[in-house]
Amino acid sequence: MSATQSLSYEVHGPARLEGSVTLSGAKNSALKLMAAALLATGKTTLHNVPGIADVEIMSDLLRSLGCTVDYENSTQTLSIDVPENPAHRAEYNLVRKLRASINVLGPLLTRLGKAEVALPGGDAIGSRGLDFHIQGLQDLGAQAHSEHGYVIATAPDGLKGANISLNFPSVGATENIMTAAVLARGVTTIDNAAREPDVVDLGEFLKSMGAKIEGLGTSLITITGVSKLQPTTHTTLPDRIVAGTWAFAAVMTQGDITIIGGREDHLELPLEKLVQAGAVITTTSNGFRVKMDRRPHAIDIATLPYPGFPTDLQPMAICLNAIAEGQSMVTENVFEGRFMFVNELKRLGANITVDGHHAAIHGVPVLSGAPVAATDIRAGAGLVLAGLVSEGITIVEDGFHVDRGYTDFAENLRTLGAKVSRITD
Ligand code: UD1
């Protein structure tokens, strides 16, 4: 990681983006599919897996558990060969780099009757508790607690189906409970379950392994446990957050981008907001096109679990409002730490006042290039977009965050006409 940690994005603005981009598979789906492959002995094959740093970290984590993992960059295909008896302990040195590593907890526990997973790291965007994960596994009959920086869970006699109700539709907790319940005895229900397309993709993957799941994409998921699952082959769904990032980029730069592979049905609210800002969005044969020919109108936004406005696109919404005509309010309801990057954006001349989980934004016609630092994946991508609508040069330091979630980001931007480069020390 040390080489990538000194990586910056150099952005020359202002720019107008025009052309087409092809979407990669969804990071937040691929990582969970990889973890869930642990549920069956043998070789699982995943197509459309993005070549990003987080996939490499998850691959290393699976290798540390005894799996053989191969990635073919040219075909974006990843294979995971899972041994009969994988190790049950996921160590801190790998887990700390990736929030999604907590997703190995459910599969290891339900298959092996025991699991020890270091408390995960990942983006610094909030407190990101694990209480729903732990409570859910306890409801399924496990002994689970956290001790010396690890979640330790045991279920020597296996897990048993239960009715589980989440206080908040947590994506990670829904996934961990679902992947544990597929091999539990009897029926499990998850009420107030997350409805994100990533959760649906994981559920479809589990079904192709032989799991019995109903209600995917709704708030009530029902899982009937089976005794064994088989390895499978699955294609990861396209990345809706990357698609949304390109859509915001088109609107901010008064550009015209066709997003090949983009699913409008996964981005209903964000695209509706962009239309309010003045964009024209049309469906194409293989995706959708976002066109803008004026300065955007300011748009009010409140983040919420799916199908609400995604918190992962909140930085892009703030960046758009920073150069929009008018005033707006962006409210963050999912992660309390997600306004950290606003101070960086203010260095570019944005006029923003943060009060608790509200950001009041007064749009200015143009920003002014300056050095800034990425604080997480999406904030990093947002700051690169802000650089595109700034006069002069913007250096986004700690650009390794961006590489964790976006395949060939600088290359794609150059294809669309921007002057952007990745600089390593
Ligand atoms: C996932 C995504 C992340 C996205 C988020 C919300 C991955 C790797 N990450 O994160 O990009 O922004 O969904 O769409 O898929 N919470 C608790 N206790 C818990 C679990 C969650 O209090 O046990 C809280 C969190 O602190 C947060 C909220 O619930 O405030 C939502 O978190 P959750 O949906 O679990 O997000 P992640 O799965 O971590």
Residue 15 and residue 48 in one domain: no
In-domain check, residue 321: yes
Residue ending a domain, choose from 235, 261, 295: 235
In a domain? residue 1: no
Q: Read off the pLDDT of each residue in 297-307 and give the average, rounded to a whole number.
A: 98
Cα gap 308→265, rounded to integer Å: 12
205 and 303 housed in the same domain: no
Any atom of ligand 1 within 6 Å of the Cβ of 127: yes
Q: 164 and 40, same structural domain?
A: yes
pLDDT on residue 6:
87
Distance between Cα 144 and ligand 1 center (Å): 19
Asked about 139 being catalytic, the answer comes back as no
**Is residue 155 over pLDDT 60?**
yes
Question: What is the percent of the chain where pLDDT is above 90?
Answer: 92
pLDDT value at 126 more than 70 = no
Query: What is the 202 CA–ligand 1 centroid distance (Å)?
Result: 16
Q: How far is CA 260 from the centre of its chain?
A: 19
Q: Give the closest residue to 86 by CA, choosing from 227, 231, 207.
A: 231
Which residue's CA lies nearest to atom 35 of ligand 1? Answer: 170
**Would you say the CB of residue 303 lies under 6 angstroms from ligand 1?**
no
Judge whether 124 lies within some domain: yes
Q: Are residues 201 and 335 in the same domain?
A: no
Cis before 86 (ω within 30): no
Same domain, 136 and 222: yes
Whether 166 lines ligand 1, by a CB cut-off of 6 Å, is no
Final residue in a domain of this structure, among 200, 235, 270: 235
Asked whether the predicted pLDDT for residue 4 surpasses 50, the reply is no
Q: pLDDT tens-digit profile of 172-222? A: 999 999 999 999 999 999 999 999 999 999 999 999 999 999 999 999 999
DSSP 73-95: TTTTEEEEEE-SS--SEE-HHHH
Are 229 and 244 within one domain? no
**Whether residue 82 sits in one domain with residue 213:** yes
The partner residues of 372 in beta bridges, in order of sequence, read 396
Determine the structural domain holding residue 139 and report its residue range. 27-235
In this predicted model, what pLDDT tens digit does every residue of 11-61 receive, in sequence order?
999 999 999 999 999 999 999 999 999 999 999 999 999 999 999 999 999
Question: Binning pLDDT at 50, 70 and 90, where does residue 122 land?
Answer: low
pLDDT at 125 over 50: no
242 shares a domain with 99:
no
Specify if 2 maps to a domain. no
Here the tokens at position 284 are: 């194409």
Kindly state whether residues 37 and 16 are assigned to the same domain.
no
Average pLDDT of the segment spanning 73-95:
95
Q: 123, 198, 201, 239: which one is catalytic?
A: 123
Q: What CATH number does residue 382 fall under?
A: 3.65.10.10
Q: Is the pLDDT of residue 354 over 80?
A: yes
Domain assignment of residue 144, yes or no: yes
Same domain? 171 vs 246: no
At residue 127, the pLDDT reads: 54
**Test site for ligand 1: of 138, 334, 338, most ligand atoms within 8 A of the Cβ:** 334
Based on the fold, state whether residues 252 and 342 are members of the same structural domain: yes
Q: Are residues 209 and 357 in the same domain?
A: no
Highest mean pLDDT among 107-121, 335-349, 381-395: 381-395
Does residue 324 carry a pLDDT above 60? yes
The pLDDT score that the predictor gives to residue 121 is: 63
- Among 235, 270, 287, which residue terminates a domain? 235
CB of 126 within 6 A of ligand 1: the answer is yes
Number of domains into which the chain is organized: 2
- The best mutation among 29, 61, 128, 198 to test binding of ligand 1, ranked by most ligand atoms within 8 Å of the C-beta, falls on 128
Is residue 149 in contact with ligand 1, taking CB distance under 6 Å?
A: no
